[in-house]
Structure 1
Amino acid sequence: MSPKTLTAEAVTTEAKYPRSIPYIIGNEAAERFSFYGMRSILATFLVAQFFNPTLNPALQTVAEAKANESTHFFVTLAYTLPFVGGLVADWFTGKYRIILYISIVYCLGHLCLAIFDNNLNGFILGLVLIAVGAGGIKSCVSANVGDQFDKSNQVLLSKVYGWFYFSINAGSVISTILIPWVYANWGAKWAFGIPGLLMALATIIFFLGRKKYVRVPPGGINKNNFVFISIYALFNLGKKQKGQSWLDVAKGEYNSEKVEGVKAVYRVMAVFIFAPIFWAMWDQNLSEWVLQAQKLDRHINLGFTSFTILPGQVQTANPIFLLSFIPLFTYFIYPFFDKIGIKATPLRRLGAGLALTALSFVIIAFVQQNVDNGGHPSVWWQIFAYVVLSAAEVLVSITGLEYAYTQAPKSMKSTMSAIWLLTVAAGNLFDALINGNISEGGFFARFTGASYYWLFVGICIAFLVVYLFVAPRLKERSYITEPEKEDIIAQTNNL
């Protein structure tokens, strides 16, 4: 056995989990329960309580469009704010303070939902506060996990992140089963109140671990960042010389390596520009698909037992399939294609993911056509669409995060993660604008029923065609296989 192996084994044996980890994972599980639990009934509640309480069939299309508009605007805000939250934490407050303080705002938002279940303005205030809470801490919580580790226990980091993401999906699965049942049997106050209690529990759990966290202090405003460099370059385009990148004009004012890092970010953004259409379609499974599920035959017969599921419970299929598909794709599907000579590169995975996303909506469109014609199709067809959509999520979402990590230099990895979240916001903003236009009788009002889903199939295919043309021409550089200059120097000094 080599000395290196012995050393690695010794480190593994001696490595201990940070004492703060149970508090962070417990906090995340409770927070995700509260977020997904509330969202699992949001669209159906808005229709039934505020937009069409009399269940007038003539008002249903507009009511559903208004509910979808509100839901997607909420998600847009929740996924835009992580960029701001990350900057505030890094520059001014540190991660601990912003997570604790914003969690209190989060709790107040849930309280508003429970109190103002008969007051639309008060309810919307609650949604805004929850979006501020969820968005403000989203970019800080996962980074806070990494902060708890040092050289003595970094070998355990991947295992802890595994438990961290398990807690996210566990919270999601449990809440999307439980909260729709609570709503159906106990009403809105309890259905929104229980997620609020879980968020309060999440905040208490996080506070109890306050003396055990490793707290990385804020570093102050660093001018060598993506925003400042980009703005400077835009306002000084007149200084650009022939053959230069438009960002090269910033090199005299900013660190040259950081400017090169910003260039890498824009190269990745050339790929990320195709992600919003995926999120515009994926996020409909938590709103439009739930409303569709109300009109389906939701009786499940498994032979040994049978039961009827609620509309908000159907979406539980997504995290279940997702957890199953991650190892399937990682250990079987990708290696299979590599073995037959079709390398499963990130760009190919993203393209395949867009194709499957369109296919999932083809299934949903046919289901809706049946509903439009007076049919009552089985919910199994929607579950089949979830199978396809979950596979697309593995190909797009997980690959996108991997691509952001490998194609961005160390100094820009946090920026890339925030920009990836902004693609979610952009997709939901598109959904909100489409549904707002429908509710106001605008151009897209003609796209209702099945034609609404066919509209998105067409848009996705158009994006896919452009992607197939652009992807082969994109320049790539892996910062894993081609380290940055500063990393090479550091490695040389350690020899």
Structure 2
Amino acid sequence: MANETLAVPAEKKARYPRSIPFIIGNEAAERFSFYGMRSILATFLVAQFFNPTHNPALQTVAEAQANQSTHFFVTLAYTLPFLGALIADWFTGKYKIILWVSIIYCFGHLCLAIFDDNLNGFIFGVIVVAVGAGGIKSCVAANVGDQFDKTNQTLLSKVYGWFYFSINAGSMVATVLIPWVYANYGASLAFGIPGILMALATIIFFSGRKMYVRVPPSGINKNNFVFISLYALFNLGKKQKGQSWLDVAKGPYNPEKVEGIKAVYRVLAVFAFVPIFWAMWDQNLSEWVLQAEKLDRHIVLGPLDFTVLAGQVQTVNPVFLLLFIPIFNYFVYPFFRKIGINPTPLRRIGTGLALTGLSFVIIAFVQGNVDKGAHPSVWWQIFAYVILSAGEVMVSITGLEYAYTQAPKSMKSTMGAIWLLTVAAGNYFDVIVNGSIASGGYFSKFVGADFYWLFAGICAAFLLVFLFVSPRLKERNYIEQPEEEAEAAAISTNL
């Protein structure tokens, strides 16, 4: 009798979900629309509405008004993801909220294009765009993960790599193209093209409707960060000696959830120092653009001889960022480990704050020369971008890592939403400062170079406090020391 062998079926090769190209295409087009309109927003507001006659006596107030509007836009866009996540997780699911809000998003861009000579109509469009961008921001990235299951989850990291590549590709192309369109063809077309791209993003997303995995809404979950925190605050009188103020919620609420929220507040102690970073970083898309208009932007690189537009200078930030991420991960951090200095997340954040402050010192010196009537080379601002981008790697990327590792599984989505709120908080401070300058308030004495020295000084103060507080902060890495919560680990959303 011949030997017989049993045929063992080959392991099925992991395949990408068919919905992924639609999600990636949607994200690239949406980011183009967002960063395209933002790249010219501050300069357009000054030139069209706040100082159309180019009166030097009105320029300072006009720029403050434009910066106030720009930072209010960012504040709103980064506050609403928290609300968008709540609505999606509790009531609508991610697909519906992305589709509905994308249509609103398109309407906002339409308003920007048709109201380019009407301030009230234009500001209304800006607000609607912020609602659109913020409403879907927390849902789109999570929707990527929803498309995978245990058969193809090994491909998830690669897909997120392409997802973030699409973000940077969309923003880089937009910040080069849209300022050029604005300079050569006017505001209506410059704001219209991002609107067309947002319409394209919506069409791409809708085209994949039959292929998406749609996680149904879970309904209102009372065991969430907001409800438990409010209950504990209103019942502080029940707190017993030796208890945390949150422990009083362990009766009416899930004790494991309460422990998870304690971890959130530990992370918030670190996040309290992050808004000043965003208050300064986001100025590279507004205040720094207005400064670039006053610089000598003529660049000679070998055979290349050209003049860059003010709104295009900001493109160097994502370029440096993409360069620095592998450099820091594979060379800088390992080097310091070899010489006995462990680049912990808290040390990285502190160093990042110092670098951000240094970039503003450079910008302050540049502005000082501008105030004297000179036109310094744009290379000085590009040098400041180098420092700022290094600070961004150490604060922004490390902050995301810290939020993930220091929060239990059932609290990770909450920490993601709170991280976005630090961006909103920083930009709201910019709104306050610029509003005060525009109205002749307290901060009106901080104009020109003094404006940048103000932020450099505030950053230095935050850094000193951080250096004192950070060694005393309690930490727990939930990746290295997993929590003991079988049921809670299965809950992916806890907003």
Q: How does the TM-score come out when normalised to structure 1?
A: 0.96
Cα drift, residue 181 of structure 1:
0.2
- How many percent identity over aligned positions? 80
**Paired position in structure 2 for 1:5:** none
Equivalences for residues 112-191 of structure 1 within 5 A = 112-191=111-190
User: For residue 405 of structure 2, what is the amino acid of its counterpart?
Assistant: T
**Paired position in structure 2 for 1:3:** none
Deviations 1:97-119 (A, max 9, x none): 00000000000000000000011
CA distance in structure 1 between the aligned counterparts of 2:489 and 2:276, rounded to whole angstroms:
40
Q: Is the 8 A contact 2:280 2:455 kept in 1?
A: yes
CA distance in structure 2 between the aligned counterparts of 1:295 and 1:287, rounded to whole angstroms:
14
**Paired position in structure 2 for 1:315:** 314
User: For residue 473 of structure 1, what is the amino acid of its counterpart?
Assistant: R
**Paired position in structure 1 for 2:335:** 336
Decide whether aligned partners of structure 1 residues 256 and 306 sit closer, same or farther in structure 2, where only a CA change above 3 A counts. same
Q: Does 1:242 align with 2:241?
A: yes
**Paired position in structure 2 for 1:292:** 291
CA distance in structure 2 between the aligned counterparts of 1:172 and 1:73, rounded to whole angstroms:
20
Cα drift, residue 12 of structure 1:
9.0
Equivalences for residues 56-95 of structure 1 within 5 A = 56-95=55-94
Cα drift, residue 487 of structure 1:
4.5
User: For residue 41 of structure 1, what is the amino acid of its counterpart?
Assistant: I
Cα drift, residue 179 of structure 1:
0.0
Deviations 1:213-264 (A, max 9, x none): 0000000000000000000001101100111100000000100000001100
Decide whether aligned partners of structure 1 residues 107 and 11 sit closer, same or farther in structure 2, where only a CA change above 3 A counts. farther
Equivalences for residues 249-264 of structure 1 within 5 A = 249-264=248-263
Decide whether aligned partners of structure 1 residues 105 and 488 sit closer, same or farther in structure 2, where only a CA change above 3 A counts. closer
**Paired position in structure 1 for 2:493:** none
CA distance in structure 2 between the aligned counterparts of 1:489 and 1:328, rounded to whole angstroms:
37
Structure 2 residue matching 1:431: 3-state secondary structure = helix
Cα drift, residue 303 of structure 1:
1.9
Q: Does 1:394 align with 2:393?
A: yes
Q: Is the 8 A contact 2:360 2:452 kept in 1?
A: yes
User: For residue 335 of structure 1, what is the amino acid of its counterpart?
Assistant: P
**Paired position in structure 2 for 1:200:** 199
Q: Is the 8 A contact 1:12 1:155 kept in 2?
A: no
Cα drift, residue 305 of structure 1:
1.4
**Paired position in structure 1 for 2:39:** 40
CA distance in structure 1 between the aligned counterparts of 2:364 and 2:130, rounded to whole angstroms:
30
CA distance in structure 2 between the aligned counterparts of 1:334 and 1:85, rounded to whole angstroms:
36
Q: Does 1:277 align with 2:276?
A: yes
Q: Is the 8 A contact 1:98 1:137 kept in 2?
A: yes
Cα drift, residue 338 of structure 1:
0.8
CA distance in structure 2 between the aligned counterparts of 1:11 and 1:56, rounded to whole angstroms:
75
Q: Is the 8 A contact 2:409 2:489 kept in 1?
A: no
Decide whether aligned partners of structure 1 residues 66 and 141 sit closer, same or farther in structure 2, where only a CA change above 3 A counts. same
User: For residue 201 of structure 2, what is the amino acid of its counterpart?
Assistant: A
User: For residue 432 of structure 1, what is the amino acid of its counterpart?
Assistant: V
Listed as ranges, the gaps of 5+ residues in structure 2 are 1-8, 491-495
User: For residue 351 of structure 1, what is the amino acid of its counterpart?
Assistant: G
Deviations 1:18-44 (A, max 9, x none): 100000000000000000000000000
**How many residues are treated as equivalent by the alignment?**
482
CA distance in structure 2 between the aligned counterparts of 1:489 and 1:367, rounded to whole angstroms:
53
Cα drift, residue 486 of structure 1:
1.8
**Paired position in structure 1 for 2:421:** 422
CA distance in structure 2 between the aligned counterparts of 1:229 and 1:329, rounded to whole angstroms:
39
CA distance in structure 2 between the aligned counterparts of 1:12 and 1:155, rounded to whole angstroms:
14
Cα drift, residue 280 of structure 1:
0.1
Deviations 1:460-492 (A, max 9, x none): 00000000000000000011011111259989x
Q: Is the 8 A contact 2:88 2:217 kept in 1?
A: yes
Q: Is the 8 A contact 2:93 2:214 kept in 1?
A: yes
Q: Is the 8 A contact 2:112 2:191 kept in 1?
A: yes
**Paired position in structure 2 for 1:482:** 481
User: For residue 117 of structure 1, what is the amino acid of its counterpart?
Assistant: D
Structure 2 residue matching 1:184: 3-state secondary structure = helix
Structure 2 residue matching 1:217: 3-state secondary structure = coil
Structure 1 residue matching 2:302: 3-state secondary structure = coil
**Paired position in structure 2 for 1:306:** 305
Decide whether aligned partners of structure 1 residues 12 and 81 sit closer, same or farther in structure 2, where only a CA change above 3 A counts. farther
Structure 2 residue matching 1:485: 3-state secondary structure = coil
Deviations 1:300-349 (A, max 9, x none): 10121100010000000000000000011111111111111101110000
CA RMSD of aligned residues (A): 1.3
Structure 2 residue matching 1:300: 3-state secondary structure = strand
**Paired position in structure 2 for 1:369:** 368
CA distance in structure 2 between the aligned counterparts of 1:427 and 1:37, rounded to whole angstroms:
22
Cα drift, residue 54 of structure 1:
0.2
CA distance in structure 1 between the aligned counterparts of 2:449 and 2:110, rounded to whole angstroms:
37
Cα drift, residue 11 of structure 1:
9.9
**Paired position in structure 2 for 1:30:** 29
Which stretch shifts more, 331-340 or 29-38?
Answer: 331-340
Q: Is the 8 A contact 1:12 1:153 kept in 2?
A: no
Q: Is the 8 A contact 2:256 2:488 kept in 1?
A: no
